Structure 1
Amino acid sequence: MRVVFMGTPDFAVPSLKALAEAKYDVAAVVTQPDRPRGRGKKETPPPVKETARTLNIPVFQPLKIKDPDFISLLKGLNPEVIVVVAFGRILPRDILVLPQYGCINVHASLLPKYRGAAPIHRAVINGEKVTGITTMYMDEGLDTGDMILREAVPIHEEDNVGDLHDRIASLGASLLIKTLSLIKSGQAPRTAQAGESSYAPMLTAEDERILWDRPARDIYNQVRGMNPWPGARTTMHGKVLKIWRAAALEEDGSASWPGQVISSGTDGILVRAGTGRLKITELQLQGSKRLGAADFLRGTPVPAGTALGGPM
């Protein structure tokens, strides 16, 4: 099968590599334009572009996906199928109807739950125990197309987004190859999405902010759901404080208000939440490195009574 692959971030890389390893004819890779990243704001190519270069696959980075010249270019490539994995843009009908076998999407949830841009983050933040991968035929809606294959993945108690991302990305690559094989042989199932749906919108700066009047369990899930990117944050003495690892404890402890430090020691910093306590075990003060609690406290004492939170 002649394939055009559309994807952008790290999540899409295993799927592109799987296509190459399975000897599919990948005619081209389409990805987002290079973006400025890091402190120096240097123009940086997306991970999929870098992978495509190592595989000697032509890369196209259209500024506008609806550009008639780009759509003409796609037609000239004559793909039998277009594979879309975390591309980051909604495809217009002119592209959806172009390939013989349609446009196939690899989505990081068990549809119809968590349609949208941030399904892995939202599943962890919401304390889900299970998520997964769905392959589907794309239509003009947002992740609403008929499903082909689904496979569940457990979310373990200690998983952060990075842990789950890597497992799901690997499974997505495997399920993609199975899906294309079924499509080529004419045996691919086609199942309409049914049941309760939900959406996973793109993360915002407000999603990063810890609200200390929430239950400790919810804050713990937020910390897991923001590690390794973009990080759950609060403030201390007017500086941003990112919390990378923590544990939720049920007892409230002795503190006057949510966000007040109860105690600090080598095993962690205890903070009162709306209900329960959060034990912070890895954190990062603005302008400094990520550190375990013991190392952090050597350079930055956090005595009982310290207030966390406030204006960002």
Structure 2
Amino acid sequence: MGNTETITVPHLGTSTIGYRFGRPYDPSLPTLVLVNSFSTSAELYGPQFADEELATTANLLAIEPYGHGRTRASYEQFTYWDSAIADLQVLDALGIPQAFVLGTSQGGWVAARMAVLAPRAVQGIVLLGTSMDSESPRSRDLGCWDGVAFCTPAIDALAEEVGDDWVIPVELVDAVLAEGLGDDVPPAERSFWHETHQRNYTGDDGRRRLRLCSINLRDRDGLHGRLDAVRCPVLWMQGTEDPVYSVANAEEEIRLFPHSAGAELRVVEGGRHFLSASHPAEVDRATVDFIRRWA
């Protein structure tokens, strides 16, 4: 797994986008963009970068959304639409005309937006532990979490300016890990994510970025009325032990891609919210098959 680099794109008054290739780019292979979940970074996809079959099937390119990792913009405000536009501009800047996109949780929202915005550039999307809705009563009625209740205390707590010595509280990191991976995260992995978050979210800039990421999660727009614009194939993988978004929700929403070349839902027994981390073998095999079928 290579180091995270940055590239400049024109969106939002010019932006510096964090990205990471698993191996040197090979133009003879298709490309798979990997978009990480809330408050994490390209490191979320360590298991995918380490998978030999996946790495020889496609160029693996992790791109960090606004507010995450090394991605920064001249403008302080951003949404998931902005991350989708920036990711498409990264592909242009790297000379990659088409790509598949895999997204975990919020990464799925970015992937779907990319497919809506640029149907010729996006060859297919792989959605992991996600939802195409806003944080709506409908979503909660289908067994999804209460994202408003989860995010609002953090948004309120992050409202005031802080000093240069501020770092993200480990309690917030642990709350994210509990939703993403459950309560039995190994100590070494927990420590890794504590350190990674506290490196990414420091000082008042880190506070502001984290707060806006939380606002975006809580207050985002739903995509139900736009999904008929998705033409590419869709593979949705949903874990049965995902406390955030439910299988029942995925079963309803996979039917909202009427013009997709092929929309499939796969339920992963025991799968957590951060499905690429909790069940990498299942995700990687399915993704390899998906790319080989549709490339």
Q: TM-score of the superposition, structure 1-length normalised?
A: 0.32
Bigger relative contact order (CA 8 A; separation at least 6): 2
Query: Structure 1 or 2: larger helix share?
Result: 2
Q: TM-score of the superposition, structure 2-length normalised?
A: 0.34
